[in-house]
Amino acid sequence: MIETVKNRQEELLSALAGLSAEEALALLAREFEGGIVFSTSFSWEDQVISHMILSQNLPIRIFTLDTGRLFGETYYVWSRTNEQYGTHIEAFYPNQEVIERFVTEKGPNAFYESVENRKGCCYIRKVEPLQRALAGNTLWITGLRAEHSPDRGNLPQLEWDETNQILKYHPLLHWSTDQVRAVINENGIPYNTLHDKGFVSIGCACCTRAVNPGEDFRAGRWWWEDKSSKECGLHAHS
């Protein structure tokens, strides 16, 4: 089954060529009904994708990873999205026993002390819950955009994720921030107001800051670390 799905990458890329993001999502929802999911962090781009899914009533399950350390503004957008679209976005949480042991042994802010501790925290709060959320599915929709990182510039819109054994599709990969914001404004889509305050990539409150003029898009994430270590493990190329 895995090899069959994996080998369909070129066929699907051909079928998706020339389609708008809305059309592509509709095609994939029909093709993978019952096995297609979208992970949202309630960022600008994720809110646009949620709007495309929910306004078309597509059979794509939407979930989020609640790390327990998110901004209040993020929870507000989550609530507003549920209310505006009459939906219930599914939540996945860290394993209770594992996170309790980690915090007890290392302390609540251990991620500042070493890259190893920070990646351990990310694994418990994000990577392992993601693995549970993706289990049993064949296609994962993401909000990755090439503009966010030089490493994403050569990504195909549809790729095979070897780690999670799943096809991964990035509908807004080549969209600009201006394009994303235009759709948000035109459709009255709820969005995280931290974006208006210089926050570009928004994660846990303890690990995210605003980006200064001229700084890299990812400069606000884990700002105390060297650039080479700035990944959490959710995406191999992020």
- Tokens 């959320």 sit on residue: 133
Locate 147 and state its tokens: 């503009």
Query: Which position among 121, 122, 207, 232 bears the catalytic label?
Result: 232
Cα pseudo-dihedral 21, 22, 24, 27, rounded to 10 = 170
Determine the straight-line distance between the first and last CA of the chain, rounded to whole angstroms.
27
List Cβ neighbours of 236 (8 Å cut-off, separation of 6 or more): 161, 162, 163
Locate 169 and state its tokens: 């599709």
Q: Is 232 a catalytic residue?
A: yes
- Determine the length of the chain: 238
Which residue numbers are catalytic? 232
